[in-house]
Amino acid sequence: MQITIVDHPLVQHKLALLREADVSTNKFRLLTEELARLLAYEATRDLALEPTSIQGWCGEVTVRKIKGKKLTVVPILRAGLGMLGGVLDLVPSAKISVVGLARNEETLQPEPYFEKFVGSLDDRLALIIDPMLATGGSMVATIDMLKRKGCQHIKAIVMVAAPEGVRLVNACHPDVPLYCAALDSHLDEHGYIIPGLGDAGDKIFGTK
Ligand SMILES: O=P(O)(O)OC[C@H]1O[C@H](OP(=O)(O)OP(=O)(O)O)[C@H](O)[C@@H]1O
Ligand SMILES: O=c1cc[nH]c(=O)[nH]1
Ligand SMILES: [Mg+2]
């Protein structure tokens, strides 16, 4: 599995601000969106281009535009919604597929509660977005769902990943590249990433 840890100074600086214990809901939201934008920039770096002719100011000019492949952005509810605006800034015409999963706090298994996919998934690149890759259960379940619907090209974008989650995604779906701002140390006994960010969903939505 290809894993890209985006080491750009802007990414690392924003991640540092996100890790502060007393970060406000408003600041966490803004930083999440900004980080998502920068991570999506990296994740779309290899989109294929094709030459096309347009009328420019001085006559015909050959330019390059993104080739046919359509995109769907796949936020995993809830926390993935916090990254959606940042990704859509870069790919405003992307269609959105939504997956609702809640991690059971005791078993740490993802429990599905919603799914709504756009059509023609076999013809699209799916960009899954979720701030946290912890055990990897939620990401693997989402990739499973997409593949069952015929999706063949999938990338995962997270802010912080744990080695445990990377290992699980790699074991189940080695074809899915992962983009993140940090690969952290480990999971604690409650399945939280250390040092991580705490509960990203709660911080984005202001719950708890
Ligand atoms: O890798 P995993 O062990 O599956 O954990 C990661 C998942 O846990 C969090 O969501 P949570 O289930 O807490 O839901 P929320 O977004 O509604 O807070 C997070 O946003 C991921 O979706
Ligand atoms: O560290 C973690 C693990 C799962 N979900 C979170 O929001 N944070
Ligand atoms: Mg949560």
Into how many domains does the chain fold? 1
In the reported structure, the alpha carbon of residue 92 is separated from the centroid of ligand 2 by a whole-number distance in angstroms of 28
pTM greater than 0.90 (yes/no) = yes
Q: Is residue 24 a part of any domain in this protein?
A: yes
Q: Is residue 32 annotated as involved in ligand binding?
A: no
Q: Is residue 59 part of a domain?
A: no
Look at residue 75 and tell me if it is in a domain.
yes
Is residue 82 in contact with ligand 1, taking CB distance under 6 Å? Answer: no
Residue 61 lies in a domain: no
pLDDT digits (tens, 9 = 90+) for 122-143: 999 999 999 999 999 999 999 9
Percentage of the chain lying above the pLDDT 70 cut? 100
- Domain assignment present for 57: no
pLDDT confidence of 68, banded at 50, 70, 90?
Answer: confident
Q: ipTM of this predicted complex?
A: 0.98
In a domain, residue 62? The reply is no
Is 148 a domain residue? yes
- Range(s) of the domain holding residue 96: 3-44+70-205
pLDDT at 208: 82
Q: What is the CATH number of the domain that holds 24?
A: 3.40.50.2020
Ligand 1 pocket: which of 28, 98, 103 to mutate (most atoms <8 Å of CB)? 103
Nearest CA, atom 6, ligand 2 = 199
Ligand 1 center from residue 152 Cα (angstroms): 24
Q: CA 19, CA 93: separation in Å to the nearest integer?
A: 32
Confidence of residue 146 (pLDDT cuts 50, 70, 90): very high
Residue of 2, 38, 3 whose CA lies nearest to 18: 38
Pseudo-torsion of CA 86, 204, 97, 11, nearest 10°? Answer: 40
Task: Give the Cα separation of 19 and 26 in Å (integer).
Answer: 14
pLDDT, tens digit (0-9, with 9 covering 90-100), for 81-113: 999 999 999 999 999 999 999 999 999 999 999
Token pair for 65: 């535009």
